[in-house]
Chains A and B, each alone.
Chain A
Amino acid sequence: MGDVRSMLTTYRHLVGAKIRSDWQYRTSFVRYLLSQTVVTALDLAVILVLSEVVPSLGGWNLSQVAVLYGLTTLSFGLGDLFVSQVETVATHIQLGTFDRFLLRPLPTIVQLPASEFALRRVGRSIPAIITLVVALSMAEIDWTVDRLALVPMTVVAGTIIFGAVWVVTASISFWAVGAREVANSFTYGGGFAHQHPLHVYSRWVRTLLGWILPMAFIAYVPAVHLLEAPNPLGIPSWLALTPPLVAIAAVVVARTVWRAGIRNHQSTGT
């Protein structure tokens, strides 16, 4: 237990230092924050544009798709804020600077996100939260206690699942250093894909981005139950309660893959 506490203290110090240093360049910080917000809002603009043209996508109306956008983008934004920095491992391996992380008495999986922490990434979550709140109030949901609890639970589990996906895809770099773009197409691709109902995609996309990388549990599965939306894939409603279990499983897998990666790691020797 003491271990965990000292780890958290170190994490807090590292992140705090990073935030203070970013804050030295305030204009730059604010500009980046805004650009992150606008990038994310563009995806919302797409949904709005499409809803002008056709009343529904895959049978889901605007407010239902907007709920999906809100859930996915919020989880993605939080994952981006806290975990996505693991992808810099590719650069560190290439430059040989990863060895430094290995020498320090803190797990690499904690060090990387902490030392590359960037508060400006919170910009992604801003349009997501606003959209989620507005869309949930517009979506004519039959609010019950369990449905109310489902929303924060989904966001937390979703963030963890996205984080795990980031760790797993970043781990590819231990075996193939140049594979960062492949990794990005899964993380960013997933973040984009799940803003729309899963059933608009073909089977192989659903299998890969929905179930193998279990990102269907980030928004689509709980949303089907929450919104009582058209459900052509026949997702049973009990599945809506499983995201926390999926999150735990995802963390276990991510941890195993990351460790295997580190064992496989051969320094460049510089």
Chain B
Amino acid sequence: MFGYLRAYILIGVAAAGGGEVAGWDEGLMVTFAFITQSLLAGTGAFGEQELAERIRSGDVVVDLYRPVDVQLWWLASWSGRSAYTFGSRGIPPMLLGAVVFDLRVPPDAATWIVFALSVVLASGIGFAIRFAANLVAFWLLDSRGVDQLVTLVLTFFGGLLVPIVLFPPWLEAVARLLPFAAMAQVPAEVFLGLHPGRGALTALATQLAWFVALLALGRVMLGAATRKVVIQGG
């Protein structure tokens, strides 16, 4: 439903701008509305509290003494879920959109491959951000506020409400500097074929950089947290 509403509003915007705004025509706008809707669930845009809950209850101790890396353990579990949600909650919005609109689908296999990689990285960034946000629970106990904050900022700066190309130039520049665009706006642009040729590599490289940087942040936080954690009995 939200996909349709956003599509019609963006059509209205394109019409008011004489058929094209910021170089985006109606077809791009409509497809953008549905593809971002498809990306929501798989990138964890609705929030993630499982780890924080385990930290609060103390169950995290079990995670810490498993003979595997904590961050990789959670990444593995996230990847499995994410792959499933992309299928179950990512495909229906596009199909529903295609019933009413002529959606712009990548014409060549190369774009599809780049898009697939971009989506994987977007999901990875989603994991890295939520992992770090959940770890805040070591210090605050209740990290729901942080999680909600991430969701809010992502919704706006990730382009999930309006494509960030419609932002005033300074605000778009800000959005491009944040990791959130790499979670929704960038994969959507790849899908729409707006990063042709080497641009695709740049887009993927930026996403990869964010993924690595945010994983590192999570790792540092985890290190700090395990040094201070006190286990109450057994």
Show the binding face of A for B, using Cβ within 8 Å. 28, 31, 35, 38-39, 42-43, 45-46, 49-50, 52-58, 185-186, 189, 192-193, 196-197, 200-202, 205
Contact = CB atoms under 8 A, between A and B. Distances in A.
A38 B154 CA distance: 13
B2 A192 contact: yes
B16 A189 contact: no
12 contacts: A45-B156, A49-B167, A50-B13, A53-B21, A56-B16, A57-B13, A58-B12, A196-B12, A200-B9, A200-B11, A201-B4, A205-B8
A46 B155 CA distance: 11
B150 to A, nearest CB: 11
A54 B21 CA distance: 8
- How many residues of B sit at the interface, in one of the four size bands? 20 to 34
A200 B10 CA distance: 9
Contacts of A49: 162, 166-168, 171
A42 B156 contact: yes
Which among B4, B9, B148 has the highest number of chain A CB atoms within 10 Å? B9
Interface string B157-192: 000011000111001000000000000000000000
Contacts of B149: 35
A31 B97 CA distance: 37
Contact of B12 (A46, A57, A193): A57
B187 to A, nearest CB: 21
B161 A202 contact: no
A52 B142 CA distance: 38
Given A28-B142, A54-B21, A35 B9 contact: no
B5 interface: yes
Given A42-B161, A57-B13, A202-B8, 11 more contacts: A35-B148, A38-B152, A42-B155, A49-B167, A53-B13, A54-B16, A54-B17, A57-B16, A189-B2, A189-B5, A205-B5
A50 B148 CA distance: 25
A200 B12 contact: yes
Nearest to A199: B12
Nearest to B9: A196
A46 B16 contact: no
A68 B152 CA distance: 23
B233 interface: no
B145 A54 contact: no
SS class of chain A's interface: helix, strand, loop or mixed?
helix
Contacts of A189: 1-2, 5
A267 B21 CA distance: 55
Contacts of B12: 57-58, 196-197, 200
Contacts of B166: 49-50, 52-53
Given A49-B167, A53-B21, A35 B162 contact: no
B161 A46 contact: yes
B231 to A, nearest CB: 26
Nearest to A208: B1
A60 B97 CA distance: 26
Nearest to B12: A200
B162 A200 contact: no
B230 interface: no
Given A28-B142, A53-B166, A189-B5, A42 B152 contact: yes
B13 to A, nearest CB: 5
Contact of A35 (B5, B17, B142, B145): B145
Interface in B1-48: 1-2, 4-5, 8-9, 11-13, 16-17, 21-22
Contacts of A50: 9, 13, 162, 166
Nearest to B171: A49
A39 B11 contact: no
A20 B100 CA distance: 49
A38 B152 CA distance: 8
A55 B156 CA distance: 21
A12 B180 CA distance: 44
